């Protein structure tokens, strides 16, 4: 073996340059895409990551379920490549989140709508079929309600207390925690419309035990509903849809949550779902552009795409074409 002479300055310089190059590579670049965000979008992002990784051209992206709000905090926290490239979101980005991104140097963000989803109210399959109006849901969930003409702490203990036509089930709701976009969408689609004349009572949820915050582990929520037929769960359509043998979803305002009713915006708790991309990371993170292309591709997000099998309600083709054009616009700016 050749002996290195430590007095040889050339060897020292070469060693230093080697260390510097290795350090720089780790600091300034990554070998795969990193995504954070919505637990609703998580199964869709995971499916795209798996399909993308199977091509063998790039490493399989890292997908983290942090909730939409938690994801935006991570996504907007800094602009460097040590932060996430994408935030999956089950609601639009807020003005406050945009400001946080701007303040931390995340100057350009591209929003891609990938499809639709619905917020559902689900129970175990053991009880009979059931349905609610949004007004009834509001009265079950709100911290304060109008009762006998007065604003009071929520007095309702059973669904039948709200309306005698409802079953005499105790009000026990398992719902999304505050960092989840489903929670924000529930407020926007149910709580706000029901109480626009009384903005002071929009608070959600109750704090008397009728509402329980749940993490983004939907398999845990499904198991809790199966184990407690009195409980009601609020979550994304994809999860009840993929557990039809165990749980059932209620009609809301007389409309059943189905892909057809959500696509037509007839179901009153329909919503779009998104992917938010840091434009500056395209070209710096291997495979990022191609991963986003896969997300809005025909084989993934089209009417017969594999994401539809996972529960995503697809965009109409002309609208999906608009999202693809956004991606190609990002690609063109990086050339």
pLDDT of the residue at 201 = 56
pLDDT of the residue at 119 = 93
Q: Is the peptide bond before 301 cis (omega within 30 degrees of 0)?
A: no
> With bands split at pLDDT 50, 70 and 90, how would you rate the model's confidence at 244?
confident
What CA–CA distance (Å, rounded) separates 71 from 238? 20
pLDDT of the residue at 202 = 54
pLDDT of the residue at 104 = 96
User: In CATH, what is the architecture of 30-116+272-334?
Assistant: 3-Layer(aba) Sandwich (3.40)
Which of 41-45, 99-103, 172-176, 196-200 shows the lowest per-residue confidence on average (mean pLDDT)?
196-200
pLDDT of the residue at 203 = 57
Q: Which residue's entry shows tokens 């999202």?
A: 323
| Cα Rg of the chain, angstroms | 24
What CA–CA distance (Å, rounded) separates 153 from 145? 6
DSSP 70-119: HHHHHHTS-SSTTS-SEEEESSPPPHHHHHHHHHTT---EEEEEEEEEEE
Contact between 278 and 330 under an 8 Å Cβ cutoff? The reply is: no
Q: Is the pLDDT of residue 67 over 90?
A: yes
- Helices (H), strands (E): how many in the chain? 15, 13
- Which 3 state secondary structure label does DSSP give 53? helix
For residue 213, the surrounding DSSP H or E stretch is: strand 211-214
Segment 190-208 shows an average pLDDT of 68
Task: Name which residue leads in pLDDT, 125 or 306.
Answer: 306
Please give the mean pLDDT across all residues of the chain: 86
Q: Is the pLDDT of residue 173 over 50?
A: yes
Segment 107-136 shows an average pLDDT of 90
User: In CATH, what is the architecture of 118-270?
Assistant: 3-Layer(aba) Sandwich (3.40)
Closest CA to 307 of 259, 267, 264, 261: 259
Tell me how crowded residue 169 is: count the other CB atoms within 10 A of its CB.
16
Residue 273 has what DSSP assignment? E
- Which 3 state secondary structure label does DSSP give 233? strand
Closest CA to 280 of 288, 290, 272, 291: 288
Segment 220-249 shows an average pLDDT of 87
Residue spans in the chain of domains classed CATH 3.40.190.10: 30-116+272-334, 118-270
Which residues are within 8 A (CB) of 2 and not within 5 positions of it... i.e. 6 or more apart? none
pLDDT of the residue at 29 = 59
What CA–CA distance (Å, rounded) separates 29 from 13? 24
Q: Is the pLDDT of residue 206 over 90?
A: no
User: Could you tell me what percent of the chain has a pLDDT over 70?
Assistant: 87
pLDDT of the residue at 199 = 53
Closest CA to 300 of 48, 89, 113: 48
- Which 3 state secondary structure label does DSSP give 212? strand
Most confident of 18-27, 38-47, 121-130, 207-216: 38-47
pLDDT of the residue at 21 = 34
Of the CA atoms within 13 Å of residue 78, those in its CB half-sphere come to 4
Closest CA to 239 of 298, 182, 177, 305: 182
What CA–CA distance (Å, rounded) separates 54 from 128? 44
pTM: 0.84
Which of 67-81, 133-147, 170-184, 234-248 shows the lowest per-residue confidence on average (mean pLDDT)?
234-248
pLDDT of the residue at 109 = 97
pLDDT of the residue at 190 = 86
Segment 288-298 shows an average pLDDT of 97
Helices of type H across 142-276: 159-162, 181-186, 192-194, 218-227, 238-241, 259-263
Tell me phi and psi for residue 119, to 5 degrees: -85, 125
Closest CA to 89 of 76, 79, 80, 99: 76
Q: What tokens were used for 161?
A: 């207390």
Segment 145-149 shows an average pLDDT of 86
Q: Which residue's entry shows tokens 């398992």?
A: 174
Contact between 123 and 224 under an 8 Å Cβ cutoff? The reply is: no
């Amino acid at each position: 073996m050749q002996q290195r002479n430590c007095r040889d300055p050339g060897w020292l310089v070469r060693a230093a340059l080697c260390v510097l190059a290795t350090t720089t590579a780790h600091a300034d670049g990554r070998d795969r895409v990193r995504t954070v965000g919505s637990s609703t979008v998580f199964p869709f992002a995971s499916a795209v990551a798996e399909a993308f990784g199977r091509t063998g051209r790039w490493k399989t992206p890292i997908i983290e379920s942090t909730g939409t709000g938690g994801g935006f905090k991570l996504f907007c926290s800094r602009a460097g490549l040590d932060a996430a490239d994408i935030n999956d979101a089950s609601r639009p980005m807020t003005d406050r989140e945009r400001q946080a991104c701007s303040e931390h140097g995340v100057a350009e963000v591209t929003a891609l709508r990938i499809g639709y989803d619905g917020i559902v109210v689900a129970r175990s399959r053991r009880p009979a079929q059931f349905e609610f109006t949004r007004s009834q849901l509001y009265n079950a969930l709100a911290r304060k309600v109008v009762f006998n003409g007065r604003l009071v702490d929520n007095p309702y203990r059973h669904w039948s207390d709200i309306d005698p036509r409802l079953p005499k089930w105790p009000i026990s709701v398992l719902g999304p925690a505050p960092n989840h976009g489903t929670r924000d969408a529930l407020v926007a689609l149910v709580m706000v419309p029901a109480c626009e004349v009384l903005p002071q009572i929009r608070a959600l949820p109750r704090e008397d035990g009728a509402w329980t915050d749940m993490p983004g582990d939907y398999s845990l929520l499904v198991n809790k509903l199966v184990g407690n037929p009195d409980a009601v769960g609020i979550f994304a359509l994809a999860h009840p849809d993929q557990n039809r043998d165990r749980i059932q979803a209620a009609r809301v305002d007389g409309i059943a949550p189905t892909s057809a009713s959500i696509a037509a915006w007839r179901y009153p708790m329909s919503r779009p779902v998104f992917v938010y991309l840091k434009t500056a990371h395209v070209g710096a993170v291997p495979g990022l552009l191609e991963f986003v292309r896969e997300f809005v591709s025909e084989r993934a997000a089209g009417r017969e795409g594999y994401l539809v099998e996972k529960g995503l309600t697809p965009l109409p083709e002309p609208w999906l074409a608009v999202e693809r054009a956004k991606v190609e616009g990002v690609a063109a700016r990086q050339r």
